[in-house]
């Protein structure tokens, strides 16, 4: 196992244990974190799935725009429901692209203010940001679930032009938000562990 700043992981008869010469976390908490990490070993498969879904959304968006512009230029007739198709493709693209961005920690971070503080205080700001993000995504998921139920109960909940039922569309958004919540939670626990170990 790779060496860390605080010590090194050792393979033992009962599993993994942290070098006792350094400050260690409570065993129950550490076991929970390791279990969570093991759960994310499915990561590569999930990442491929998310990547494919986001790519399909991007391809549909590009194809729709090209067909719409080509139809206007060549046949003087736009593609019916262009705005709706692009919007539905955005449901595939945006939430799942956010999952990939968060997984790779590729968000733009502005640290003009917090960079003046100590690393521990910066970590506390990061934890607070994760809590806000988790809360916002949880609200999106809850609102999406309520809208799905409303769409199932009311059969008139369809898109205006193409008359596509809204329930499956909102389900895609909720699924993307659940993936995002999982990645945010993983990063939150990692940051929390890092702060506790300091």
DSSP sequence for 53-118: HHHHHHHHHHHHHHHHHHHHHHHS-PPTTHHHHHHHHHHHHHHHHHHHHHHTT-S----TTGGGS-
Lowest model confidence (mean pLDDT) among 8-12, 131-135, 150-154, 193-197 = 8-12
How many whole angstroms separate alpha carbon 67 and alpha carbon 64? Answer: 5
Residue with the larger pLDDT of the pair 5 and 116: 116
Tokens of 44: 């590569």
CB-based contacts of 157, cutoff 8 Å, min separation 6: 150, 151, 165, 166, 167
pTM of the model: 0.71
CB-based contacts of 159, cutoff 8 Å, min separation 6: 81, 84, 88, 166, 169
pLDDT tens by residue, 137-180: 999 999 999 999 998 888 788 888 899 999 999 999 999 999 99
Q: What is the mean pLDDT of residues 113-136?
A: 86
Tokens of 61: 């968006």
């Amino acid at each position: 196992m790779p060496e860390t700043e605080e010590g090194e992981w050792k393979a033992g008869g009962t599993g993994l244990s942290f070098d006792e010469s350094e400050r260690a976390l409570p065993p129950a908490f550490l076991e929970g974190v390791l279990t969570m990490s093991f759960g994310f070993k499915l990561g590569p498969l999930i990442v491929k799935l998310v990547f494919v879904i986001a790519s399909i959304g991007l391809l549909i968006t590009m194809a729709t725009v090209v067909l719409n512009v080509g139809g206007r230029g060549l046949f003087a007739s736009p593609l019916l429901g262009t705005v709706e198709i692009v919007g539905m493709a955005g449901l595939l693209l945006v939430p799942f692209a956010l999952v990939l961005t968060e997984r790779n920690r590729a968000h733009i971070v502005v640290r003009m203010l917090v960079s003046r503080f100590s690393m521990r205080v910066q970590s506390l700001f990061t934890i607070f940001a994760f809590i806000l993000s988790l809360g916002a995504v949880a609200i999106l998921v809850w609102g999406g679930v309520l809208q799905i139920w409303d769409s199932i109960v009311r059969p008139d909940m369809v898109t205006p032009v193409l008359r596509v039922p809204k329930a499956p569309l909102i389900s895609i958004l909720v699924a993307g938000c659940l993936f995002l919540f999982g990645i945010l939670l993983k990063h939150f626990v990692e940051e929390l562990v890092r702060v506790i170990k300091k």
